[in-house]
Amino acid sequence: MGKIFINDNQIEEWVEAAKGIQDKFGIEKALGYVIGEKFYNLVSMLHAFHTRIRAIDEERKKPDYNPIRERTYGNSKLTENLDETYEDEKAKVIETEGLLVKFVFLIEQTFSPHEILKYFQSHPPLGTMVHITSEEQYEFMVSTGAIPHSIETEVEDALIFGDMMKYFEINS
């Protein structure tokens, strides 16, 4: 089984970094980093795994299903076995769900329930780019298409946000 992170202490390091961010820039920036960026990315990854599993499930229902897929990219040929990919994605779902539970525990050990609740109630912006760019830079990147922004991405973010709240046992 492939690991989600190469670094076994990745989540702990993110929480430690959030403490440093809190000391320098305040609680809003710290929670934006650890929940709005890192936790969000992990939940987003989980959504992607589930989407891939559903797509393979649909393929498997077809009467002429063949798990082997070949694609050509320039001079290279890529062969994929959808049955193997399916099992890999299921293993990643299990691993990611475990990481999310551990991540919530570490975040709740570091920040108060009130701070976490207040963060979620503020309906914060989500994702890495929101936290590493100014508002003007972010808006520019959205307007030029460098960052996808559509009804579909808004819906996906709302679903991810809802799942994030579930992990923290926060009712909407």
Nearest to 115 by CA among 13, 35, 25, 20: 35
Which pLDDT does position 1 carry in this prediction? 43
Which pLDDT does position 2 carry in this prediction? 55
Which pLDDT does position 118 carry in this prediction? 97
Q: What is the pLDDT of residues 115-172, one digit of tens each?
A: 999 999 999 888 888 778 888 888 898 899 888 888 999 999 999 999 999 999 998 6
Nearest to 168 by CA among 128, 113, 127, 122: 113
Written as six digits, the tokens of 149 are 């922004």
Q: What is the pLDDT of residues 13-70, one digit of tens each?
A: 999 999 999 999 999 999 999 999 999 999 999 999 999 999 999 999 999 999 999 9
- The amino acid occupying position 130 is V
pTM for this model (two decimals): 0.90
Cβ–Cβ < 8 Å for 21, 29: yes
Q: What is the pLDDT of residues 76-110, one digit of tens each?
A: 999 999 999 999 999 999 999 999 999 999 999 99
Written as six digits, the tokens of 70 are 């070949």
Using alpha carbons, list the distances in angstroms from residue 21 to 73, 99, 112. Answer: 43, 22, 16
Q: What does the alpha-carbon distance between residue 68 and residue 101 come to, in Å, rounded to a whole number?
A: 35
Cβ–Cβ < 8 Å for 115, 167: no
In SS3 terms, 142-160 reads as HHCCCCCCCHHHHHHHHHH
Which pLDDT does position 148 carry in this prediction? 86
Using alpha carbons, list the distances in angstroms from residue 18 to 21, 22, 92, 117. Answer: 5, 6, 25, 17
